[in-house]
Amino acid sequence: MTSYLIRRVLAGLLTLLVASFLLFLLVAISGNPLANLLANPHISPATIAAARKELGLNQPLLLRYWTWLIHMLQGNFGISTTGQPVGSELGSRLLVTLQLVLPTVILSALIAILIGVVTAVRQYSVLDHAMTAVAYLFYSTPVFVVAIMLKDFLAVDVNNAVGHTILYTIGQNNPGTTGAWSIFVDAVQHTVLPVVALVLITYAGWSRYQRATMLDVLNADYIRLARAKGLSRRRVLYVHALRNALIPVVTVMALDFATILGGTVVTETVFGWTGMGNFLLEYGLEGPVTPDVNVVMAWMMVVATAVIVFNIIADLLYAVLDPRIRLA
């Protein structure tokens, strides 16, 4: 087990390294970071030369990559062209995105498992058909459409009905709120709508998968055997079937954590959150120097690392939960 883990981690690191080089190449060819400075008549050639030196652009590509790599390994993500250190900025933005992603995953998982199991057990019932239809609908809808409808219609209607604002549509909190409880409530009020949007899209696919796996398990020989042995239906269901049906689904969810991380970009944009998505779009690509290499590379590395980490977690979960699979 441990050796497998070590191997996977090493493989992951190697992948990260190669990916980082490709990404660096990509960012380098996508535009001249000095373009805006060059075009400004007020800026003297001396300033441009200084900027070029500071950004290291007069060095060959490989050397620049090497410098960036060394710095990154030391934990120095560099300074963005607005003068802010990228590392600390990234940290706070990651937390903001997590404020969105964690509740999404947990809620989606719970709802998906519940619906998946129930519809599998009550296969072909009216409930099953209804849930299937709903799942298909959400599964086929883009997240930004759902987000827009929630923002433009549900929020206003609910707030009007209640009489004051309980659902917020802008940002992840009201800065300047004081008091731990108020801060918590305020954060929840801001998080409800985007999370609902993401959950509706995410649970749909997972619930179908859970349903399918549950059905497989319920029809499996060893379940029939358990029933034949006279075990109560409930015991059969929960102890044996569910446990086995959860295995692949949990792995799927662990893998998707990383997907959702990347995918919150759209939701953050619709609701104006200052998280990872906004960080890339605003600072990396619309700042005074485009593209801001440090910002873009740091962002890519964080997301790539998250993907690899969660893939490894999924591997482990898979191995741990299913005793039949022994990773050689």
Partner 1 sequence: MPEPESFEDASAPGAQAEVIPIVAGRLVVPLVEGPVTASRGQLRMAAERFFHHRMALTGLAVFVLLLLWSTIGPVFWKYSYATITNQFGTGPSAQHPFGTDTIGHDMFAQVMQGTQTSLETALLVAAISTVIGTLIGAVAGYYGGFWDQALMRFTDVVLIIPLLAILAVLSNRFSKQADSSLFVGLLLAILFWTYLARLIRGAFLSLREREFIEAEHAIGASTWRIVLRHMIPNAAGVIVVNATLTVALAILTEAALSYLGLGVQPPQVDLGTLIASGEGDAYALPWLFYFPAVFLIVAVLSVNFIGDGLRDALDPTQREH
Partner 2 sequence: MTRVRPIRRIGVIVFTVACAIGVAACGSSGSSSSPSASATAGTVKSGGTLTYALDEDVAGFNVNQADDNEFVLQEILDNVWPSVFVSTPSLKPTLNTNYVTSATVTKTSPQTIVYQINPKATWSDGTPISASDFIYNWQAQSGNPKYKDKGGAAFLPAGTAGYSQIKSVTGSNGGKTVTVVFSSPFGDWQSLFTDLMPAHIAEKVGFNNGFQNFGSAEKVSGGPYEMQSYTAGQDLVEVPNPTWWGAKPKLSKIVFRFILDDNSIPPAMANGEVNMANPALASLSFKDAVDALPNTTTDVTAGLEFQHIDFNEANPYLAKLDVRDAIAAGTNREQMIQRIVAPLTTSIQPLENRIWMPIQPQYTNTSGSYGDFDVAKAKSLLQAAGMTMGSDGYFHPNFGPEKGQDFTLSISTTSGVPVRSQIEQLFQADMKAIGVKITIQNYNANTLFGTVGPKGEFDLIEFAWVQTPYASGNESIYCSYTNASLCGDNWDHYSDPKVDSLFDQALSTINPTTAASLYNQVDAQLWKDMVTLPLFEQPQLVSWSSTYGNVVPNPSNFGVTWNAYAWGLKE
Q: Which of residues 67-126 bind partner 1 (CB under 8 A)?
A: 123
Segment 193 to 222, residues that bind partner 1, using CB under 8 A: 201-202, 205-206, 208-209, 212-213, 215-217, 220-222
In angstroms, how far is CA 244 from the centroid of its own chain? 26
Tell which one of 286, 320, 325, 327 touches partner 2 (CB under 8 A): 286
CA 183, 186, 192, 194 torsion: positive or negative? negative
**Binding track over 147-166 against partner 1, x by CB under 8 A:** -x---xx-------------
For residue 317, what are its two tokens? 């979960």
Indicate the residue among 17 and 170 with the shorter CB distance to partner 2.
170
112 forms part of the interface with partner 2 (CB under 8 A): no
Residue 175: cis peptide before it, omega within 30 degrees of 0:
no
Contact flag: residue 236 with partner 1 (CB under 8 A): no
CB nearer partner 1, residue 185 or residue 325: 325
Cβ burial of 10 (10 Å; 0-12, 13-18, 19+) is exposed
137 contacts which partner out of partner 1, partner 2, none, CB within 5 to 8 A by kind?
Answer: partner 1
CA distances from residue 242 to 193, 195, 288, 310 in whole angstroms, order as listed: 31, 27, 54, 23
Site residue total, partner 1 (CB under 8 A): 82
Question: Residues 78-107 vs partner 2: string with x where CB under 8 A?
Answer: ----xxx-----------------------
Segment contacting partner 1 by CB under 8 A, of 55-63, 78-86, 187-195, 283-291: 283-291
Residue 162 near partner 2 by CB under 8 A: no
Asked whether the CA dihedral 208, 254, 196, 147 is positive or negative, the reply is negative
Q: Is 28 a residue that touches partner 2 (CB under 8 A)?
A: no
Residue located via tokens 């917020």: 168
What per-residue string of b and e applies to 294-324 under the rule 16 or more CB within 10 Å gives b? bbbbbbbbbbbebbbebbbebbbbbbeeeee
Closer to partner 1 by Cβ: residue 142 or 288: 142
Site string for partner 2, 169-208 (x = CB under 8 A): xxx---xx--------------------------------
Q: Which among 104-112, 117-125, 162-170, 240-248 is the span making contact with partner 2, rule CB under 8 A?
A: 162-170
- Which of partner 2, partner 1, none is residue 84 near (CB under 5 to 8 Å by kind)? partner 2
> Of residues 278, 284, 297, 311, which one binds partner 2 by CB under 8 A?
278
Q: What angle do CA 170, 174, 179 make, to 5 degrees?
A: 155
User: Least Å distance between CB 50 and partner 1?
Assistant: 24
Whole-number Å distance between alpha carbons of 270 and 79? 28
Nearer to partner 2, 207 or 267 (CB): 267
Which range in 13-21, 40-48, 76-84, 187-195 contacts partner 1 by CB under 8 A?
A: 13-21
27 binds partner 1 (CB under 8 A): yes
Tell me how crowded residue 202 is: count the other CB atoms within 10 A of its CB. 25
Q: Which stretch, 51-59, 246-254, 264-272, 311-319, contacts partner 2 (CB under 8 A)?
A: 264-272
Contact 216, 244 (CB under 8 A): no
For 138-167, b/e burial (b = at least 16 CB within 10 A) is bbeeebeebbeebbeebbeeeeeeeeeeeb
